[in-house]
Structure 1
């Protein structure tokens, strides 16, 4: 049975808890630093990549050519209040593209 490889990409202040859970941690604080580690993320064939939301889109673009494959799963994590809700907006867009209408509940109406 092969070992599942899981990575976290983000700032040092958020990296400690992921390192403690056994994730491979890539501490980056800029898009330039992120660009330096993207080839490693791809080469090492991670099953899951958790990322601070600010880096999510750039990481997702790196894996765009293998989007139809199941892995890696790339998950964005909000790290400041302005980023909360971004994931649900993304899921709503995917649902709308898939069925032609947004059926996700948007709160009490």
Structure 2
């Protein structure tokens, strides 16, 4: 059975444990990259990464982009939304259908 992980700073991911998700605390990109590789090699189908941490993990996340599992998705952290999540949604849609149908190029 696949599991769901949440990776990010303690304040941002702590509450996810209450709904049964596995939480992993990381604030340094170097440690987070190592932890992400570990999680991706395990039984995790979905790995949520806080947006603030995501920015330092672009290269690491890219290596899993073409694989069906795990799905690695950005989520806002306790410090707020940085816009990385919506950018990733747009990128995924463009890759899937060949054009930006969500925003129509207006933004």
C-alpha separation between the residues in 2 aligned to 1:21 and 1:72?
20
Counterpart residue number, 1:90: 88
* Deviation >6 Å, runs of 4+: none
| Structure with larger Rg | 1
> Residue 23 of structure 1: CA displacement?
1.4
Counterpart residue number, 2:12: 14
2:40–2:70 Cα contact (<8 Å) kept: no
C-alpha separation between the residues in 2 aligned to 1:17 and 1:44?
22
Structure 1: tracts of 5 or more residues without a match? none
C-alpha separation between the residues in 2 aligned to 1:102 and 1:44?
33
> Residue 96 of structure 1: CA displacement?
4.0
Q: TM-score, normalised by structure 1?
A: 0.70
Alignment length (residue pairs): 102
1:42 aligns with 2:23: no
The higher-RCO structure (CA 8 Å, 6+ apart) is 2
Counterpart residue number, 2:49: 51
Q: CA RMSD in A?
A: 2.7
Q: TM-score, normalised by structure 2?
A: 0.71
Structure 2: tracts of 5 or more residues without a match? none
Q: Over residues 41-65 of structure 1, what are the superposed CA-to-partner deviations in whole Å (9 max), with x where a residue is unaligned?
A: 133131100110122351x643544
